[in-house]
Structure 1
Amino acid sequence: MPVGIVVALQAGVLTALSGRYGFHRDELYFVAAGKRPDWGYVDQPPITPWLARASTALFGETPMGLRVAATLLGIATVVVVALIAREVGGGRGAQLATAIATALSSYVLAVTHMLATNTADLLLWSLIALFGLRLLRTGDGRWWLAVGAAAGLGMMNKWLVLLLLSGLAIGVAVAGPRGVLRTWWLAAGIGVAAVLTAPVVLWQASHGWPMLTVAGGISEDDGVENRVLFVPMQLLYLSPVLVPVWIAGLARPSRDAGLRWARALAIAYPVVCVELLALGGKPYYSVPLLLPLVALGAEPVLRWLARTGTVARALTGVAVAVCVAASVLIGLPVVPPTALGPVLAVNKEPGEQVGWPEFADTVAAGWARIPATERDTAVILAGNYGEAGALEYYGPERGLPQPYSPHMSYADWGPPPDRLVGPVLLIGRAEPGSPAARLITGCRPVGMHRAPANLDNDENGVRLSLCTLTEPWSTAWPQLRHFY
Structure 2
Amino acid sequence: MTRPPYAVREVAVVVAVLELGLVLLAPYYGPHRDELYFVAAGQHLAWGYPDQPALTPLLARLADLVAPGNLVVLRIPSTLASVGVVLLSAQAARLLGGRRASQVATAVVVGFSVLVPGLGHLLSTATFDMLLWTAVLVVVMQALLDDRPRLWLLAGALAGLGLNNKHAMVFCLLGVLVGVAAVEETRPVLRTRWPWLGGLIALAMWIPNLVWQALHGWPVFALAADIAREYGGVGGRLGLVLEVLVMFSPLIAAVWILGLVRLMQRPDWVLVRPVAVAFLVVLGVFVITGGKGYYLAGLVPVLIAAGLTSLVHKPSGRRRLEQATTRGLAITSAVLVASAAVAYPAVLPLLPASTYAGSVWADLDGGQLDTIGWPEYAGQVSAVIEQLTEPERASVVIFTGNYGEAGAMEWYGVGRPVYSGHNGYQEWGPPPEDATPVIVVFPTNPSKWFRACEDRLKLNNEADAPNEEVGVGIWVCAGPRGSWADAWDELSHYSA
TM-score under structure 1 length normalisation: 0.93
2:364 corresponds to which residue? 346
1:313 CA drift (Å): 8.6
Deviation at 1:316? 5.2
Partner of 2:196 in structure 1?
187
Paired with 1:170 and 1:437, the residues of 2 have a C-alpha distance of: 53
Q: Distance in 2 between matches of 1:355 and 1:53?
A: 23
2-side partners of 1:329 and 1:303: how far apart? 36
Residues matched between the structures, number: 476
Instruction: Assess, with a 3 A threshold, how the Cα gap between structure 1 residues 313 and 123 changes in structure 2: closer, same or farther.
Output: closer
In structure 1, the partner of 2:426 is 411
Give the CA RMSD over aligned residues: 2.3
CA drift of 1:40 comes to 0.4
Q: Does 1:33 align with 2:47?
A: no
Q: Which residue of 1 aligns with 2:97?
A: 89
CA distance, structure 1, for counterparts of residue 114 and residue 429 of structure 2: 38
Q: Deviations over 1:319-353 (max 9, x none)?
A: 43541321422222111101113221122121111
| 1:402 and 2:435 matched | no
Matched, 1:387 2:398: no
Q: CA deviation at 1:207?
A: 0.6
Q: What are the Cα deviations for residues 357-388 of structure 1, in whole angstroms up to 9, with x where unaligned?
A: 10101111222333333233322111110000
Indicate how the Cα distance of structure 1 residues 383 and 108 shifts in structure 2: closer, same or farther if over 3 A, else same. Answer: same
What residue identity is the alignment partner of 2:400? A
1:260-339 superposed matches below 5 A: 260-303=270-313, 319-320=335-336, 322-339=338-355
- Pairwise CA distance, 1:109: 1.2
- CA deviations 1:418-450 (Å, max 9, x no partner) are 111x2221111457xxxx653224322100011
> What letter corresponds to residue 25 of structure 2 in structure 1?
L
**Separation (CA, whole Å) in 2 of partners of 1:321 and 1:132:** 28
Query: Quick one: distance in 2 between partners of 1:354 and 1:35?
Result: 23
1:131 touches 1:147 (CA, 8 Å); kept in 2?
yes
Q: CA deviation at 1:258?
A: 1.0
- On the 8 A contact 2:155/2:198 being kept in 1, the answer is yes
AA aligned to 1:296 is A
In the superposition, the TM-score normalised over structure 2's length comes to 0.91
Cα separation, 1, equivalents of 2:471 and 2:402: 15
Q: Distance in 2 between matches of 1:60 and 1:75?
A: 24
Query: In terms of mean alpha carbon deviation, does 225-234 or 347-356 score higher?
Result: 225-234
**Residue in 2 that maps onto 1:10:** 18
Tell me if 1:217 matches 2:226.
yes
Q: What do residues 129-175 of structure 1 show as CA deviations (whole Å, max 9, x unaligned)? A: 01111122123221110111011111000011111111111111111
Equivalent residue number for residue 481 of structure 1: 492
Contact 1:85 1:296 (C-alpha < 8 Å) held by counterparts: yes
The correspondence for 1:360, drawn from 351, 368, 378, is 378
Provide the rounded CA distance (Å) in 2 between the counterparts of 1:237 and 1:160.
Answer: 18
Q: Is 1:425 paired with 2:439?
A: yes
- In structure 2, do the counterparts of structure 1 residues 438 and 460 end up closer, same or farther at CA, with 3 Å as the change threshold? closer
> How far did 1:307 drift?
10
Q: Deviations over 1:178-221 (max 9, x none)?
A: 12111122332122112211101111111111111111111113
Deviation at 1:60, TM superposition (A): 4.6
Name the residue aligned to 1:240.
250
- For structure 1, which segment, 65-74 or 250-259, has the greater mean C-alpha deviation from structure 2 after superposition? 250-259
Q: 2:263 aligns with which of 249, 253, 265?
A: 253
Given that 1:253 and 1:261 are in contact with CA atoms closer than 8 Å, whether structure 2 keeps it comes out as no
Of the candidates 207, 214, 217, which is equivalent to residue 216 of structure 2? 207
Letter in 2 for 1:474: A
Task: Measure, in 1, the Cα distance between the counterparts of 2:277 and 2:334.
Answer: 32
> Counterparts of 2:211 and 2:281 in 1: how far apart (Å)?
28
What CA distance in whole angstroms lies between the structure 1 residues aligned with 2:410 and 2:345?
A: 31
**What is the aligned partner in structure 1 of residue 317 from structure 2?**
none
Q: What is aligned with 1:118?
A: 126
* 1:10-33, Cα deviation, whole Å (9 max, x unpaired): 111111111121111111111111
Amino acid at match of 1:265: V
Distance 1:393 1:161 in 2: 30
1:132 to 127, 140, 143: 140
Distance change >3 Å, CA 307–CA 267, structure 1 → 2:
farther
Checking the alignment, whether the CA contact within 8 Å between 1:381 and 1:427 is kept in structure 2 is yes
* C-alpha contact (below 8 Å) 2:248/2:340 kept by paired residues: no
Identify if the C-alpha distance between structure 1 residues 387 and 228 changes in structure 2 by more than 3 Å, giving closer, same or farther.
same
Q: Distance in 1 between matches of 2:333 and 2:126?
A: 30
SS at match of 1:166: helix
Contact 1:273 1:286 survives alignment (8 Å)? yes
Letter in 2 for 1:334: L
- Structure 2 unaligned regions, length at least 5: 1-8, 315-320
Q: How far 1:318 sits from its partner (Å)?
A: 7.5
Deviations 1:291-322 (A, max 9, x none): 1110111112345998999x999995784354
Residue by residue, what CA displacement relative to the aligned partner does 1:53-83 show, whole Å, maximum 9, x if unpaired? 1223235531111011111111111111111
Q: Quick check: 290-299 or 439-448, which moved more?
A: 439-448
The answer on whether the counterparts of 2:442 and 2:473 sit within 8 Å (CA) in structure 1 is yes
Distance 2:424 2:286 in 1: 25
- Aligned counterparts of 2:199 and 2:265: Cα–Cα separation in 1: 32
1:320 partner letter: L
- 1:2 deviation in Å? 0.2
Quick one: structure 1 residues 194 and 349, their matched pair in 2 at CA, closer, same or farther if it must change by over 3 Å?
same
Contact 2:113-2:337 at 8 Å conserved across structures: no
Letter in 1 for 2:433: D
User: CA 1:101–1:145 in 2, change beyond 3 Å: closer, same or farther?
Assistant: same
The letter of the residue matching 1:83 is: Q
Question: What letter corresponds to residue 355 of structure 1 in structure 2?
Answer: G
What secondary structure is seen at the aligned counterpart in 2 of 1:426? strand
- Within 5 A, what are the aligned runs for 1:49-88? 49-88=57-96
The answer on whether the counterparts of 2:39 and 2:60 sit within 8 Å (CA) in structure 1 is: yes
CA, structure 1 residues 317+414, in 2 after alignment: closer, same or farther (shift >3 Å)? closer
Shift of 1:112: 0.3
